[in-house]
Amino acid sequence: MFRTISNNLAFFRQFRQRFETTGAIAPSSQFLAKSMTRFLAKRGSGPVRVLEIGPGTGPVTQRIIPLLTDGDRFDIVELNESFVEILNARFQQDDVWKPAAAFSQVHQLPIQDFQPDEKYDFVISGLPLNNFPADLVDSIADTYFKLLKPEGVLSYFEYMYVRPIRKVVTRGDEKVRITRIDDTMAAHCAKQRIARDNIILNIPPAWVQHLAGVGSPDGAMA
């Protein structure tokens, strides 16, 4: 319990100081974390490669780790150095996390600069895309699919109705920015989405989008 309180306080400090890159106003709920990992939970018996992007203090990571086994590969990309320290400490100290330490690594860099040797079966992202410049969102979205196997699954979340509301109430450059982001992600969803979950029990409520890898025949809404 004390670790949870400490992690939440760290999250709120980073939200206050770095809203542009932290984005969320509260750590992800257990319901959102369960949705983000639901395709990983259906994994087969063979080894898998999992990439988590923008985990913050690790509420979704906490759900990922029990789904992993020896022989898997788990990479985490997080830009915020305070969150990186928390994540590394949890792999050393947390009894749930320690068994995965041998096949896991935290990388501190922008996701566009991450260059792994192999692609991933599952890419799970908590990046706050609505806070970024439109060109950066284009680059990040392209990177998601460059890192994902054709038969893999990308899962990411977005807060409900944020972009539709912003498109109505904003003007000028901000309206152009949010419209471009909406167009970018809507185009990917139209081609590759396999499911969308509505997570009401989250602050704020969120949609979790699940997309198939580029080249997969399964890129249609389920």
**pLDDT tens for each residue of 91-144:** 999 999 999 999 999 999 999 999 999 999 999 999 999 999 999 999 999 999
Give Dmax over CA atoms of the chain in angstroms: 52
Looking at the domain assignment, is residue 128 inside a domain?
yes
* pLDDT range class, residue 12, cuts 50, 70, 90: very low
Q: Which of 10, 92, 5, 103 is nearest to 55 (CA)?
A: 10
Looking at the domain assignment, is residue 221 inside a domain?
no
Residue-wise pLDDT for 42-52, tens only, equals: 999 999 999 99
DSSP conformation class of 26: S
Residue 35 and residue 122 in contact, taking contact as beta carbons nearer than 8 Å: no
Residue-wise pLDDT for 13-33, tens only, equals: 444 444 444 445 667 899 999
Q: Which of 32, 39, 84 is nearest to 60 (CA)?
A: 32
Q: 155 in the Ramachandran plot: left (φ > 0), alpha (ψ -120 to 50) or beta?
A: beta
CA dist 219 and 206 (Å) reads 21
Looking at the domain assignment, is residue 186 inside a domain?
yes
Residue 174, φ and ψ in degrees, nearest 5: -65, -40
Residue-wise pLDDT for 158-206, tens only, equals: 999 999 999 999 999 999 999 999 999 999 999 999 999 999 999 999 9
CATH code, domain carrying 101: 3.40.50.150
CA dist 32 and 164 (Å) reads 21
What is the side-by-side strand order in the sheet with 120-125?
104-107, 73-77, 49-53, 120-125, 148-159, 206-212, 193-199
pTM above 0.85, yes or no: yes
Looking at the domain assignment, is residue 207 inside a domain?
yes
- Reduce the DSSP state of residue 74 to 3 states and report it: strand
Q: Which residues face 212 on adjacent strands?
A: 153
State the pLDDT at residue 180. Answer: 97
Domain range for 153: 2-212
Looking at the domain assignment, is residue 220 inside a domain?
no
Q: Which of 124, 63, 61, 60 is nearest to 88 (CA)?
A: 61
CA dist 42 and 122 (Å) reads 11
Looking at the domain assignment, is residue 101 inside a domain?
yes
Looking at the domain assignment, is residue 152 inside a domain?
yes
The two three-digit tokens of residue 95, written as one number = 């009894």
What's the total number of domains in the chain? 1
State the pLDDT at residue 8. Answer: 44
Looking at the domain assignment, is residue 217 inside a domain?
no
